[in-house]
Amino acid sequence: MLWKTLVVYYSRTWMTAKVAMEIARVLDCDIEEIIDLKDRSGAMGYLIAWRDALKKELAEIKKIEKNPEDYDLLVIWTPVWAFTMASAIRTYVVENKDKFKNVAFFATQWWEWAQRKFKDLKELTWKTPVFEIQLLTKEVTNGSFKGKLEELLKEYK
């Protein structure tokens, strides 16, 4: 069965955006960027982002264009801040989780051991993901993520 899929992502530094765009290309599906209305640029922005994620605060986000209810699968892509999801993604999930049919979780992170982001996503969505994958920042930077991604998504397709 081929599911109508939407990739939803937030990216502060375009690291996560790079991978989200590749997933959408491979799956030939729709994509939507979640826009955080708070300025999180630079070193101070990073510290604020980390603090907000640690406190599990919601962010004010730009109104979304695509209705998640129109899709069979929602691929949620987040950078990892303070060992959990970005605040903008937390807001998106809280505001839309009742519209999700099936979910998949992806994360971009510096450290391999930051597992809580999937636990938090599962608790917020009340769903078991169809699949989940984490990529290290170095894999995205050096391009090696493409092989890992292709292998996982080949199974899904």
Structure confidence by residue, pLDDT tens digits, 64-81: 999 999 999 999 988 887
Please report which confidence band the pLDDT of residue 17 belongs to, taking 50, 70 and 90 as the band edges: confident
Q: List, in order, residues 6 or more apart from 116 with CB less than 8 Å away.
A: 83, 84
Q: What is the DSSP letter of 21?
A: H
Residue 123 φ/ψ, nearest 5 degrees: -65, -40
The Cα–Cα gap between 128 and 143 comes to: 29
Single-letter amino acid, residue 136 = L
Q: Return the H-helix or E-strand segment holding 109.
A: strand 103-109
What pLDDT sits at residue 112?
Answer: 59
Structure confidence by residue, pLDDT tens digits, 135-149: 777 777 787 777 777
Structure confidence by residue, pLDDT tens digits, 72-113: 999 998 888 777 889 999 999 999 999 999 999 988 776 655
Contact 83, 113 (CB under 8 A): no
The Cα–Cα gap between 155 and 132 comes to: 13
Q: List, in order, residues 6 or more apart from 126 with CB less than 8 Å away.
A: 97
- Domains of the chain with CATH codes: 5-156 (3.40.50.360)
The Cα–Cα gap between 26 and 131 comes to: 16
Where would I find the H helices in 41-115? 42-54, 87-96
What pLDDT sits at residue 59?
Answer: 96
